[in-house]
């Protein structure tokens, strides 16, 4: 199973369309918020199930602020992260995820990619496909692959 995790596209969908054309069709796409009205365009382009939440710039969106769902044997909590002060660090977010009893928290908001695999929680922020803020400022996304044993592996991907 392959899951493409994106965030903070801010209605600028060219890079998402590009990765959907370049990589094998995923089994799921997860968008961590700041879609800005592109819900339909992203869902249509993905051509697979899509999980999305509203971010701090999704002012009139009917998307939920948070979602919990499963990917394989993993319980996932999806949130944009701004309500958990992720710009100051993700410790509060990870504590909340552990308290919720999930295995993975996926979030955005910072526009900086992160994959942290700890004993109690996995935290994934794919960065931004539109306005990256990390050193080098390359648009980024994450890929989660679940092998035949049900084990998840994560990789950050960067566009040139």
Give pTM, 2 decimals: 0.98
Does 1.10.3720.10 match the CATH number of domain 2-158? no
- Residue 87 Rama label (left phi>0; alpha psi -120 to 50; beta): alpha
Mean pLDDT for the stretch of residues 1-12:
98
Residues 33-87 have pLDDT tens digits of 999 999 999 999 999 999 999 999 999 999 999 999 999 999 999 999 999 999 9
Mean pLDDT for the stretch of residues 92-97:
98
Residues 110-158 have pLDDT tens digits of 999 999 999 999 999 999 999 999 999 999 999 999 999 999 999 999 9
The domain segmentation of the chain, as residue ranges, is 2-158
Least Cα distance to 113 among 3, 5, 2, 1 occurs for 5
């Amino acid at each position: 199973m392959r899951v493409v995790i994106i965030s903070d596209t801010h209605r600028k969908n060219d890079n998402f369309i590009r990765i959907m054309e370049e990589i094998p069709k995923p089994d799921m796409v997860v968008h961590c918020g700041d879609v800005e009205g592109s819900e339909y365009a992203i869902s249509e382009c993905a051509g697979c199930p899509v999980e999305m939440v509203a971010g701090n710039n999704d002012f009139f969106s009917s998307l939920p602020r948070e979602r919990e769902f499963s990917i394989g044997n993993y319980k996932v909590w999806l949130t944009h992260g701004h309500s958990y002060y992720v710009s100051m660090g993700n410790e509060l977010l990870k504590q909340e995820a552990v308290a919720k009893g999930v295995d993975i928290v996926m979030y955005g908001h910072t526009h900086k990619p992160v994959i942290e695999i700890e004993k109690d929680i996995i935290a994934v922020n794919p960065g931004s496909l539109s306005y990256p803020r990390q050193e080098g400022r390359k648009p980024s996304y994450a890929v989660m692959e679940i092998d035949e044993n049900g084990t998840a592996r994560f990789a950050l991907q960067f566009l040139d």
